Structures are given as structure tokens and as C-alpha cells.
Amino acid sequence: MFLHHREREQPIFSTRAHVFQIDPTTKRNWIPASKHAVTVSFFYDANLNTYRIISVGGTKAIINCTITPSMTFTKTSQKFGQWADSRATIIYGLGFSTEQQLHQFAEKFKEIKDAVRLAREKSQDKELVNVALTIAAPQDLSDDLQSPPVMCVNGPEDKLFRSQSADVTLSAEKERMKKMLSEGSICEMNLEVEFFALQDSNTKLVAALNEANANVEQWKKQLTAYQEETDRLREQVAELEAHGGHGPSDLLKDELTQSLEELEALLKAKDKEIHILQSKKSEYNKIKHERDEAIHRLTEMEIRNSELERRIQNSEQNLINSLEERDRMDTELQKAIEILDIKIFDLNDLRQSLVKLTDRKQ
């Protein structure tokens, strides 16, 4: 049921750690970014060929860092490591519960960094090939787009300019579509962070609910045993009162009464715990409903983004068709200009011939 964006970006490694950020003022002290250990995951985007480190605490993203070849994860102690995100000017620190977890995270960080470096080198090689092909091409198309040629026929009075209104309209439409797509991506990321928070809360509530359900039966058995014990003690107290004994019987009566009061207090405490668990169950249902609503909103945003991408592709295709039509018209106009130049040259020859003939008659 998961969404287009989640199908595109998949988690490849997860662990739990305490997240810290360096104090931007002192550059020395560590500031806790989470009150407790949170999940820290590596995500891979197959379409963009990028890797991210993401961690969500509460309702906000604690870590949202794209890995680059220049990043380095450094172990500063047996259970602590750090790295710097130069783009966001943030230094992150992770505190693990075991040395093994730190080692696994460091190895995965190095592995992903090497993969990013290889991908970037391949991309640079492709760019060099494209540049070489562009240099070898007989004509630079960008010059045609930026500087439309001005053609003259027999003097400055006959200049012909090509209309650029279609290009301006298509370019404006394309920029508007890109802006709408960018706004949709921002909303999608906010919904993604909200979904991570709801998913984390849902996981905790499910674990607590499962644990409570496992203990309810045991508590019910204990309550039944306590009630039976209480009834038995009540019967003993009633028997003692019926006999009306004194001395040691009074002492035994006091002990039984005290035990009865303790059992009744314990029963009240267990009833209170059961009410608390029932309220947590209702909270779990509420969180689940909110999560479903967030998923629904994220689905609608994905559909909207897909529609915007389709409209941008159509606009780009219309722009390409307009450019091809303009080139075709330029070619036809150039041919017409050449023919017109030939006719003008013939008219000049005829005029000169007429002038000569007139001079001879005079």
C-alpha cells in the first residue's frame, strides 16, 4: 500500500543511537537532539542515485543529511562517532549502546560513501563525453535560442524580425510548473516527516499494547486468586466473630483484618492499572487513525506531483515542437529571401539596361 515516493526511496540499514549536534556558538559542546535513543537509517533513492541519513524524533526530523564523497565518519571513542554536513553546516554525533553498533554504522557509512564517489566519477565521465560531442557539433543550438538572427533585405528599411511570443509563453509556463512541483515536493517532505513520527509512535504503542495484553490474563488470574483469598479471610473473620473468642483469637482477627485491607488495596491498584491500559488502547486507535490520514494526504500529494510532472513533460514537448516549427519557418524564409535577392538583382540589371537604352536614343 505504500506510496510512490517510498517505493522510490528504500531503507537499507537501520540502528538505534542517541543523536547530538555540536553547539554552533562554541563549536565545542554537544547538544542532545533526542531525549532517548532513536532510529537512525540509511535510505537509497534509485532514481536520483543518492543516499540519505534520516532520523525522526517526536514530530520533527532530527537528521536529514545527503551523503557526499567528501564526508568522513570519525570514531572519537568506543561508543561515539561524528561527521560533518557541510551543506547544512551541522556536525552530528551518535552515541551507541555497544561498540559493535558503532563499528557497523561506520562500516556502512564508508561503504555508502565509496558508492557515492564511484557514481559521481561515472557521472563526470559522461559529462566530459557530452561536452566533447557538443564541441564537435556543427552548430550551437543555445546561440539560436538566445540570439535570434536578424535578416536584412536590400537595406536597413527591410529588416525582418522573428516573433518570440510563443517561446516566452512556453518558458513562463515551464517555470510555473517547476515552481508548483517544488512546492509539492516541500509539502511531500513535511508529510514524510509527519509519517515517520506517527510510525515511531505507532511502533511504541503497539509494543506497549502487546505487552499489556500479555499481562492482562495473568493479572486477571491474580485478581481471581486475591478475591478467593479475600472471601476465605472474610469467612474466617466471620467464624471468629461468631465464636466470640478472646486472647489469641483477637490477635488472629487483627492479622486477618490487616491482610484483608492489604488485599483490597491491591485489588484497587490492579483495577486502576487496567483502566490505564484501556485508555492507552484508545490513544493507540487515535494515533492509528492519524497515521491513516497522513498516508492518505501523502498519496494525494504523490498523485498531484505526478500530474505536475506530466504537465511539465507536455510543456517541454510543446516547446520542442515550437522550436522545430520556428526552424522550419526560418529555413523557408531564408529561401524566400534568396529568391527575392535574385529577383532584385534581375530588376537592377533590367533598370541598367533601360538606362543605357535611353542614353543611346538621346
Q: What is the pLDDT of residues 90-144, one digit of tens each?
A: 999 999 999 999 999 999 999 999 999 998 888 777 766 665 565 544 444 444 4
* Residue 157 DSSP code: G
Task: Examine the pLDDT at 303 and tell me if it is beyond 80.
Answer: yes
Q: What is the mean pLDDT of residues 50-66?
A: 89
Q: Which pLDDT value is given to residue 46?
A: 87
Residue 29 forms part of a structural domain: yes
CA–CA separation, 40 and 108 (whole Å):
12
Give Cα 121 distance to the centre of its chain.
Answer: 25
CA–CA separation, 181 and 307 (whole Å):
9
Residue 99 forms part of a structural domain: yes
Could you tell me which of 78, 100, 122, 76 has the C-alpha nearest to residue 16?
100
**330 grid coordinates:** 526560418
| Residue that is written with C-alpha cell 489469641 in the block | 248
Residue 242 forms part of a structural domain: no
Residue 79 forms part of a structural domain: yes
CA–CA separation, 282 and 284 (whole Å):
5
Domain that holds residue 38: 11-124
Here the CATH number for the domain that contains residue 77 is 2.30.29.30
Q: What is the largest CA-CA distance in the chain?
A: 170
Q: What is the mean pLDDT of residues 312-329?
A: 89
The pTM score is: 0.38
**242 grid coordinates:** 461468631
List the alpha helices (DSSP H) in the chain.
Answer: 4-8, 99-136, 141-146, 165-243, 248-361
Q: Which pLDDT value is given to residue 13?
A: 93
Give Cα 97 distance to the centre of its chain.
Answer: 28
Residue 31 forms part of a structural domain: yes
Residue 143 forms part of a structural domain: no
CA-based angle 168:170:171, to the nearest 5? 65
For the chain, what percent of residues have pLDDT higher than 90?
23
Q: Looking at the 3D structure of the chain, how many domains does it have? A: 1
Residue 94 near residue 81, CB atoms below 8 Å: yes
CA–CA separation, 40 and 43 (whole Å):
10
5-21 confidence digits (pLDDT tens):
445 678 999 999 999 99
Give Cα 128 distance to the centre of its chain.
Answer: 31
196-233 confidence digits (pLDDT tens):
667 666 777 777 777 777 777 777 787 788 778 888 87
Positive/negative CA dihedral, 240, 243, 244, 250 = negative
Residue 20 forms part of a structural domain: yes
Band of pLDDT at residue 1, cut at 50, 70 and 90: very low
169-187 in b/e burial notation, b at 16+ Cβ within 10 A? Answer: ebeebbeebeebbeebeeb
Residue 43 forms part of a structural domain: yes
CA–CA separation, 293 and 198 (whole Å):
11
**78 grid coordinates:** 568506543
Q: Which pLDDT value is given to residue 263?
A: 83
Gap between the terminal Cα atoms of the chain:
100
Q: Which SS3 state, helix, strand or coil, does residue 246 take?
A: coil
235-287 confidence digits (pLDDT tens):
877 777 676 554 445 666 677 778 788 888 888 888 888 888 877 777 778 88
Could you tell me which of 12, 22, 54, 37 has the C-alpha nearest to residue 97?
37
Residues in the chain: 362
